[in-house]
Amino acid sequence: EEQEGLGAVVVESCESRWRRTQEVSPPGSIGRVLLPSEMLAAAEAAEERGVPISLGDTDVGELGPRLKELLIASLMDLLSPGEGWRRIGDDLRRGAKLAFDTSDLDGDALEFSDFLKPDLLLGFVTSLLAYPAAALVKAPIPVGGLLLGSAFGAHYLEQAAREADA
């Protein structure tokens, strides 16, 4: 007799990021304590129960070239007032429809008051600290460089604004 149950746990990560997550936060490590991950917790629970784990995200190796391609196309569109700007407008309209059309939710759409719930606000504030910290632990050189560059850039812009006001 076939028994129904959980067929797999899908972890929102690609192979390389998942491998890096496991390297940075092995069981019992300080990384696991300081940067808890719902993905690792789900994977551990699945392994304990003999449930397979499936990775369900685009590989970051494929994402970089695609982002570069889209950035170049977007810049070309910005520089093309006629056809390019029309494509940008079409993209914005399509994105707004996907983001804000709730007709298929049968009245179950989020309302503004849902975003003011204390547990959601606490999770939001926590994520503002946890996600950058996790990124810094997983990729200290690029993320650290980005943070330092942002700090120096902000300082430079502030200095330039002061000189312009003087």
Query: pLDDT of 49-58, one tens digit each?
Result: 999 999 999 8
Task: Please state the pTM of the whole predicted model.
Answer: 0.53
Distance of CA 142 to the CA centre of its chain: 16
Q: How far apart are CA 39 and CA 24, in angstroms?
A: 14
Backbone angles phi, psi at 11, to 5 degrees: -100, 130
3-state secondary structure of 10: strand
What residue type is 65 in one-letter code?
Answer: P
Which is it for the CA torsion 51, 53, 141, 126, positive or negative? negative
Q: How far apart are CA 19 and CA 23, in angstroms?
A: 6
Residues 6+ apart with CB under 8 A from 21: 13, 37, 39, 40, 138
What pLDDT is stored for residue 95 in this prediction? 93
Q: How far apart are CA 154 and CA 162, in angstroms?
A: 12
What pLDDT is stored for residue 11 in this prediction? 92
Any idea what DSSP says for residue 55? E
pLDDT digits (tens, 9 = 90+) for 58-79: 888 888 899 999 999 999 999 9
Please list the pLDDT of the chain residue by residue as tens digits (166 residues). Answer: 555 777 899 999 989 889 888 888 888 888 787 777 888 989 999 999 999 999 999 888 888 899 999 999 999 999 999 999 999 999 999 999 988 888 777 777 778 898 899 999 999 998 898 888 888 887 889 888 998 999 899 889 898 888 888 7
